[in-house]
Amino acid sequence: MEIVSGTILRLADDASVQHVGDGAVVLLARSGQLYTCNGTTEAFLDKIDGARSLDQIIGLLCEEFEVDKHTLDEDMAALAADLVSEGILAAPTT
């Protein structure tokens, strides 16, 4: 699935994010897999609420990290696609 700026993202039903120390881990209940997250991925996941589009999430990250939107666009779209392929995020099907 292609992730575009208007794509609304949400955590998968069996995924949960736990904040630990300086980062976070994601647990997938169905498989028992545990993923560690760096600070960028943690901040990204914190903004996913099932209502915001990828573009809105990137806007929030730009403010938080004071980084150029163009820089984040490609990186966050690739991250979102990876997280969807791992089953951590779900995106509505059209």
Amino acid letter for position 57: I
Looking at the predicted structure, is the pLDDT value of residue 94 above 60? no
- Give the containing element (helix H, strand E) for 18: strand 15-20
Could you tell me if 74 and 51 are in contact, meaning their C-beta atoms sit under 8 angstroms apart? Answer: no
- Domains of the chain with CATH codes: 10-86 (1.10.10.1150)
What's the pLDDT score for residue 53? 95
pTM (predicted TM-score): 0.90
pLDDT tens track for 57-72:
999 999 999 888 998 9
pLDDT tens track for 27-52:
999 999 999 999 999 999 999 999 99
Looking at the predicted structure, is the pLDDT value of residue 91 above 90? no
Amino acid letter for position 1: M
Return d(Cα 29, Cα 27) in angstroms, integer.
6
Express as a percent the part of the chain with pLDDT over 70: 96
Show the DSSP H helices in the chain as ranges. Answer: 39-46, 54-65, 69-85
